[in-house]
Amino acid sequence: MHKHSTLGEFIISNQKQFKYTSGELSRLINSIRLAAKVVNHEVNKAGLVDILGDAGDTNVQGEDQQKLDVYANEIFMKKLTNRQIVCGIASEEEDDFVTISGNDKKNNNKYVVLIDPLDGSSNIDVNVSVGTIFSIYRRVTPVGTPVQKEDFLQEGKKQVAAGYIVYGTSTMLVYTTGHGVNGFTLNPAIGTFYLSHPDMKFPEDGQIYSINEGYYVHFPQGVKDYLKYCQEEEGDRPYKARYIGSLVSDFHRNMIKGGIYIYPSSSVGPQGKLRLLYECNPMAFLAEQAGGKATDGYVRILDIKPTELHQRVPFFCGSKNMVIDAEGFMAKYPEDANY
Ligand code: AHG
Ligand code: MN
Ligand code: MN
């Protein structure tokens, strides 16, 4: 498929690539595309209307929810529920997963979706890019019965599709179904996504490191050592530091330019901050499909067997050789692996 075809055309012409060709997954990605347009519209007018600020609730992780988080969550939940294409959804903004039953009270759909409806939410009121992250699995329990927790607690390597939307200087939808990564840019004038970044690849080496270095004192020694290495004058180092504070945007930049993103464990957050199911697994799937690498510093993210919906995990992700270098530093402190 050549550049400038629309996302709609791309989905149709690639349907045959899917292992199961009922068209269900295509319809599912289509509804994410529609939800993305609605959320994009809202994100872009956030500066104009009084939608900013906390909604007054805190989410299940005890963080303040901003109004746009709530809104984005509602839109994605609604679009995915209405069209009867999934049998269950788990969202970072919901305490538990939601079961979806069809009109006949049975659900014959095969897919579950896990979603971080608004990633980087602390950036909303300062006009900095935010995103949405999604992850799709086939259910493991029998079709026609209500979904169970085990349908959501699958290893990341079982994902059938994953992607993100970045609401940035331009809005892009980037996704994979296990056949490489493709990026589509929204033309807001006509509301159409066009294939602008076919077959995206992480450069094997990079010169950008992205980490919240403000928490340096809390980091494990392996991370401290790696940061010192990034900052040394030697070969192509020192590297550039770039940290937006929106995983989606930091990842997107690093995939294009070459870089590593790290959210490590720390003495205040032994499991790190990012959620395995809503953030790390989908990003790890994309990273690997783009020739990059994602680990928790020791273990491949996609191999981790989840035990709870809102589980957190340390995250090292990006250009292959950079992640390998970082792992080399972590390996010197095996005792930090299970913090
Ligand atoms: P969310 O807005 O969904 O809660 O995710 C924010 C995440 C991630 O996007 C970002 O990289 C990281 O939290 C920033 O955390 P710090 O402010 O601790 O650096
Ligand atoms: Mn997030
Ligand atoms: Mn979020």
Q: Based on the domain organization, do 243 and 216 belong to the same domain?
A: yes
Task: Name the H helices within the chain.
Answer: 7-13, 24-44, 67-82, 149-152, 221-231, 247-257, 281-289, 320-330
> Which distant-in-sequence residues (6+ apart) come within 8 Å of 126 by Cβ?
none
Looking at residue 64, its pLDDT comes to: 61
Range with the poorest average pLDDT among 9-13, 111-115, 298-302:
9-13
Would you say the CB of residue 244 lies under 6 angstroms from ligand 1?
Answer: no
Q: How does residue 15 score in pLDDT terms, banded at 50, 70 and 90?
A: confident
Q: Based on the domain organization, do 139 and 220 belong to the same domain?
A: no
> How many other C-beta atoms lie within 10 A of the C-beta of residue 150?
11
| Sign of the Cα pseudo-torsion (316, 269, 213, 63, in order) | positive
| Residue 34 amino acid letter | L
Looking at residue 105, its pLDDT comes to: 62
Backbone angles phi, psi at 77, to 5 degrees: -60, -45
Q: Strands 86-91 and 111-119, how do they pair?
A: parallel
Q: How many domains does the chain have?
A: 2
| Residue among 164, 274, 275, 313 whose CB has most ligand 1 atoms within 8 A, to mutate | 274
Q: How does residue 237 score in pLDDT terms, banded at 50, 70 and 90?
A: very high
| Residue among 247, 277, 279 whose CB has most ligand 1 atoms within 8 A, to mutate | 247
Would you say the CB of residue 245 lies under 6 angstroms from ligand 1?
Answer: yes
Looking at residue 101, its pLDDT comes to: 81
Q: Based on the domain organization, do 159 and 14 belong to the same domain?
A: yes
- Mean confidence (pLDDT) of the chain: 91
- Ligand 1 centre to CA of 22 (Å) is 36
Question: Which ligand sits nearest to residue 121's alpha carbon?
Answer: 1
Q: What is the pLDDT of residues 245-302, one digit of tens each?
A: 999 999 999 999 999 999 999 999 999 999 999 999 999 999 999 999 999 999 999 9
**Stretch 118-137: mean pLDDT:** 93
% of the chain residues with pLDDT over 90:
76
Looking at residue 14, its pLDDT comes to: 81
> How many other C-beta atoms lie within 10 A of the C-beta of residue 137?
24
Residue nearest to atom 19 of ligand 1 (CA): 212
Looking at residue 112, its pLDDT comes to: 97
**CATH value at residue 79:** 3.30.540.10
Residue nearest to atom 15 of ligand 1 (CA): 245
Looking at residue 44, its pLDDT comes to: 86
Looking at residue 209, its pLDDT comes to: 98
- Distance between CA 300 and CA 298 in Å, rounded? 7
| Residue 119 amino acid letter | D
Looking at residue 283, its pLDDT comes to: 99
> How many other C-beta atoms lie within 10 A of the C-beta of residue 311?
15
Looking at residue 150, its pLDDT comes to: 98
Range with the poorest average pLDDT among 124-138, 237-251, 272-286:
124-138
Nearest to 30 by CA among 85, 97, 102: 85
H/E segment holding residue 33: helix 24-44
Q: State which ligand 1 atom lies nearest to the alpha carbon of 120.
A: 2
- Distance between CA 26 and CA 14 in Å, rounded? 9
Would you say the CB of residue 273 lies under 6 angstroms from ligand 1?
Answer: yes
Question: Which ligand sits nearest to residue 123's alpha carbon?
Answer: 1
Residue 2 lies in a domain: no
Q: Based on the domain organization, do 231 and 154 belong to the same domain?
A: no
Q: Based on the domain organization, do 75 and 222 belong to the same domain?
A: no
Would you say the CB of residue 119 lies under 6 angstroms from ligand 1?
Answer: yes
Looking at residue 239, its pLDDT comes to: 98
**CATH value at residue 234:** 3.40.190.80
Looking at residue 56, its pLDDT comes to: 64
Nearest to 247 by CA among 299, 281, 289, 210: 210
**Stretch 219-238: mean pLDDT:** 98
pTM: 0.94
Three-class SS state of 60: coil
Looking at residue 29, its pLDDT comes to: 92
Choose one of 150, 174, 197: the last residue of a domain.
Answer: 197
- Ligand 2 centre to CA of 42 (Å) is 18
- Ligand 1 centre to CA of 58 (Å) is 15
Residue 1 lies in a domain: no
Would you say the CB of residue 246 lies under 6 angstroms from ligand 1?
Answer: yes
Residue 269 belongs to domain spanning: 208-336
Q: Examine the pLDDT at 19 and tell me if it is beyond 60.
A: no
| Residue among 63, 166, 212 whose CB has most ligand 1 atoms within 8 A, to mutate | 212
Looking at residue 202, its pLDDT comes to: 98
Q: Based on the domain organization, do 67 and 215 belong to the same domain?
A: no
**Stretch 239-244: mean pLDDT:** 98
- Ligand 3 centre to CA of 174 (Å) is 17
Choose one of 197, 221, 243: the last residue of a domain.
Answer: 197
Range with the poorest average pLDDT among 100-109, 206-215, 226-235, 327-336:
100-109
Q: Examine the pLDDT at 2 and tell me if it is beyond 70.
A: no
Residues 301/313, Cβ–Cβ less than 8 Å: yes
Q: What is the pLDDT of residues 52-85, one digit of tens each?
A: 555 666 667 766 656 889 999 999 999 998 767 8
